[in-house]
Amino acid sequence: MLQQVKSAFAGDHDVSGAPVAVGCRAISAGYGGQLILDDVSFGAAAGQITALVGPNGCGKSTLLKVLARILRPSAGSVSLLGEDLSRLPTRKIAQRMALLPQGPIAPEGLTVKELVAQGRFPHQTLLRQWTSGDAAAVEEAMALTDVAALADRPVATLSGGQRQRCWIAMVLAQDTDVILLDEPTTFLDLRVQVDIMTLLHRIAAEKRRTLVVVLHELNFAAAYADRIVMMRAGQIACEGTPTETFSSQTLDRVFDLDAQVIADPETGRPVCIPRRHMPNPAAA
Amino acid sequence: MTLRLTMLGPIMVIGSILVLFLWHIAVGAKSIPILTVAESLWHFDRTEFDHVVIRNLRLPRAIFAVTVGASLAVAGSLMQGVTRNPLAEPGLLGLLAGASFAVVAAVGFFGLATPGWIPVVAAAGALGGAVLVWTIAARVPGGATPLSLILSGAAVTAFLGALITLMQLMDEQTFESLRVWLTGTLAGRRMEVFVWCLPWFIGGLIIAIAVARQVTALAMGEETAIGLGVDIARLKIIVLICVVVLTAASVAVAGPLGFVGLVIPHVVRLLVGSDYRLIVPYSAGIGAAYLLVVDIAARLVLAPAEISTGIVTALLGAPFFVWLVRTRL
C-alpha cells in the first residue's frame, strides 16, 4: 500500500523522512468569514498515529475537517497519497481515506452489522451492490474491534464504548490507507478510553494504516501516538515525537498549563502531571 | 419483526395490495360482488353494466389510489431521511399547499385547460412552497430546526389557503369544480390527467429507488456521509427534484392529501429498520395499500354518502402527528 504514495507534491516527506500519507500546505480556513486556520502546513507520515492536540478553539478539529474535505479551505491545498484532494472525486477519496466524526449518531433501529456494512459504501455502485469481498471486509472489521457478538443488536441499545467500537469497525470496513478520527474517546469511561486507544494503536501497527486523531487527553496522545502536533490559535506551535514535544515549557506555551513531565517507568513515554494550584494550608 | 431478509415481506405487501384493490373496486354506491370485479378485469364484457362502471369509474379510482399513495409515502420517506427530521412530509412543509395554489391559480384564474400542463404547474408550486417554507425557517433564530420548519410550513399553508379561498370567492362558478378536489379526493379525475402524470410518477419512483443507498448514508449525519463518499450537495438537489415531482403528480391527480407521507415511513421503519433500500420500496407498497384502505373507508363510513379521501387521511393522520411530536421531537 505504501508504495502507492506518489510524490506529486514536492517535499512529500516529513522531517524524519517518512512519506506523507495525508497533509496540507499553506491552509487558511474558517467559518463564515472568521478565519480559524491561518497558513497552516501539516503532514501525517504513512503508517503512523499522528495526534492533533491543543486547547479548545485552537483549530485542531477545523484542521481535521479540512483534511476530510468537510470544510473547503479558502487558501492552500490538501494532498492525499500524493494527489491533490480537490481534483479527486469524493467517492475515490472515500476509497482511500475514512472519517469518524465527533459524536456520530446511528439512525434508530440500525443494527451493528448494518452500520459496519455502511463502510463498504464507496466500494459499491448502483449495479454492483454487495460482493464476497464486502462481506469479508465487514467480518474482519467486526472481529478486530470485537463487536462480532453484537452483530444483530441495534446500535442504539449499546453502551458508549461498544457503540464507538462499532463506528471504528465501520471506518475499518471502508478499507482505506488513511483514517481520520475526531475525538474518538470523548465522553467515555477511562477504562473504555484505554481500550479504544489500544485498538487504534493495533490498527496502525498491524494494518499499517495512517491515523490522524484529534485528542483531548494529553497523556493518551503521549502514550499512543507516534507523532504529536500541538496547535494554538490557528497555528501549529510545535510537532515531533512525544519525547520531543512534551516538556514543561511547551505545555506552558501551548496550553498555559503548569505541569511537570516525567517518564512512564514502564514504557519510558512522557507523562504530564499538572501542578495543583491551591493555597497550602501548612504554609499559612 | 424482521421482514429484512425474507421473501415473506414483499409477498405479503403485494398480496394485500391485490386484495384491497379488488375490494376497493367492489365498494361504492352500488356494491359489486368481488367475482364480478375479477371477471370484468380478466374477461371484459361491454354489454354488462357492472363491467362498464368498473372500467370507466372504479378501476381508474383504484389505480389513482395506488399510485398517489405510493408516491406520497415515498416522498415523505426521502424527506425524513435527507433532513433527519421525523416530521418532514409534503403536507407539513408546504409542498401540497404550494402545488394546490399553483393549480387553482392556473386553472381558475388563467383558464389552463391542457391536462399535460397541470403537473408542470403543480411542480412549480410545490417547489415554490418548499423554498418559501425553508427560507422562512432558516431565518428564524436557531435556523431550520424540525420545529421551525413545521411552524413555517403551517404559516405558509394558512397563507396560501387564504389566497385560494379569496380566489374562490371572486369567481364561485369556475371554482365550484375545484372545491371538492381541494379537499383531496380520488373521485372524478379524468383518466386523461392521470396519463399525463404517469411519467412523473414512474420517473420519481425510479429516482427514489436509485438514490436510496445514499439516503441511508446521509441519514447517519452529513459528516459521516461525506466520509463515506456521498456528494451531499448533489444528493440533496436530486432528492428535492424527486420529492417535488412525486408531490406534483399526486396533487394533479388527487388534490392535497395530507399526512400520507408522514404516517407511512414511520410505520415502515418499525417493520424494516433504517436501510432506505428497503424503506423506499416498502413505503411505496404500504402507502398504496394505505390509500386503498382510506378510500374504502371514505365510501363506507357514511354510505351511501361519500366523504373526501383527504378528510379521512387527516382524521387518521392528525392524531398520529400529535403522537410523533410527543415521542420524537
Tens digits of residue pLDDT in B118-160: 899 999 999 999 999 999 998 988 777 888 888 999 999 999 9
Higher pLDDT, B168 or B152: B152
CATH of the domain at B43: 1.10.3470.10
Greatest C-alpha distance within chain A = 78
Residue A240 has pLDDT above 60, yes or no: yes
**Mind telling me how many Å the CA of B273 is from chain A's nearest CA?**
5
More reliable by pLDDT, B188 or A3? B188
Chain-wide mean pLDDT for chain B?
89
Give the integer Cα–Cα distance in Å for B8 and B16: 12
What percent of chain A stands above pLDDT 90?
75
User: Which residues constitute the domain of residue B189?
Assistant: 8-328
Question: Which residue among B213, B224, B230 sits closest to A101, beta carbon to beta carbon?
Answer: B224
pLDDT(B192) > 90: no
Q: B45 to chain A nearest CA, in Å?
A: 44
Residue B170 lies in a domain: yes
On the CB side of B32, CA atoms within 13 Å amount to 23
In angstroms, the separation between the Cα of residue B210 and the nearest Cα of chain A is: 7
Q: Do B220 and A68 touch (CB under 8 A)?
A: no
C-alpha–C-alpha distance, residues B23 and B296, integer Å: 8
CA distance A68 to chain B (A): 7
For the segment A40-59, the average pLDDT, to the nearest whole number, is 93
Q: How confident is the model at residue B6 (pLDDT cuts 50, 70, 90)?
A: low
In this predicted structure, the answer to whether residue B242 has a pLDDT above a threshold of 70 is: yes
Which of B77, B209, B223, B230 should one mutate to test binding to chain A, selecting the residue with the greatest count of A CBs within 10 A? Answer: B223
Residue A234 DSSP class: T
pLDDT on residue A16? 54
Q: ipTM score here?
A: 0.87
Q: Mutate which of B232, B274, B277 to test chain A, going by most A C-beta atoms within 10 A?
A: B274
CA nearest B232 in A: which residue? A90
Give yes or no for A114 touching B (CB within 8 A).
yes
Does residue A282 sit within a domain?
A: no
Is residue A254 situated within a structural domain? Answer: yes
Residues of chain B contacting A101 with CB distance shorter than 8 Å: 221, 223-224, 227
Interface touch B223/A99, C-beta < 8 Å? yes
Query: Above 50 in pLDDT, residue A3?
Result: no
Residue A111 touches chain B, beta carbons under 8 Å? yes
Q: Which residues contact A120 (CB under 8 A, 6 or more apart)?
A: A130, A134, A137, A138, A173, A174
> What confidence category does residue A226 fall into, taking pLDDT thresholds of 50, 70 and 90?
very high
The total number of structural domains in chain B stands at: 1
**Secondary structure in 3-state letters for chain B:** CCCCCCCHHHHHHHHHHHHHHHHHHHCCCCCCCHHHHHHHHHCCCCCCHHHHHHHHHHHHHHHHHHHHHHHHHHHHHHHHHHHCCCCCCCCCCCHHHHHHHHHHHHHHHCCCCCHHHHHHHHHHHHHHHHHHHHHHHHHCCCCCCHHHHHHHHHHHHHHHHHHHHHHHHHCHHHHHHHHHHCCCCCCCCCHHHHHHHHHHHHHHHHHHHHHHHHHHHHCCCHHHHHHCCCCHHHHHHHHHHHHHHHHHHHHHHHCCCCCHHHHHHHHHHHHHCCCHHHHHHHHHHHHHHHHHHHHHHHHHCCCCCCCCHHHHHHHHHHHHHHHHHHHHC
Residue A82 falls within a domain, yes or no?
A: yes
- Count Cβ atoms below 10 Å from residue B230 Cβ, excluding itself: 25
* A278 located within any domain: no
Which residue is associated with the grid cell 512525544? A242
A212 touches B at CB < 8 Å: no
Residue B2 within a domain: no
**Residue A62 pLDDT greater than 80, yes or no:** yes
Asked whether residue A148 is assigned to any structural domain, the reply reads yes
For B258-291, how does the pLDDT look when each residue is reduced to its tens digit (9 = 90+)? 899 999 999 999 888 888 999 999 999 999 999 9
Contact call for A104 and B224, based on CB within 8 A: yes
pLDDT at B5: 54
| Residue range A161-217, pLDDT digits in tens | 999 999 999 999 999 999 999 999 988 889 989 999 999 999 999 989 999 999 999
Cβ-based contacts under 8 A for chains A and B: 74
Q: Which of residues 175-194 of A touch B (CB under 8 A)?
A: 180
Q: Is residue A35 part of a domain?
A: yes
Answer yes or no: do A90 and B229 touch at CB < 8 A.
Answer: yes
Question: Chain B interface, mutation test: which of A70, A91, A118, most B Cβ atoms within 10 Å?
Answer: A118
- Highest mean pLDDT among A24-28, B138-142, B299-303 belongs to A24-28
Contact A68 B223 (CB under 8 A): yes
Of residues A169, A163, A172, A107, the one with CA closest to residue A142: A169
The greatest distance separating any two alpha carbons of chain B, rounded to the nearest whole angstrom, comes to 67
pTM of the predicted model as reported, rounded to 2 decimal places: 0.88
Host domain of residue A152: 2-270
- Say whether pLDDT at A147 is over 70: yes
How far apart CA B286 and CA B270 sit, in angstroms, is 12
Number of domains present in the structure of chain A = 1
For the residues A101-109, what does the mean pLDDT come to? Answer: 86
Q: Which residues of B touch A121 (CB under 8 A)?
A: 213, 217, 228-230
In a domain, B1, yes or no: no
CB pair distance less than 8 Å for A122 and B229:
yes
Quote the DSSP letter at residue A19.
B
- Tell me how long chain B is: 329
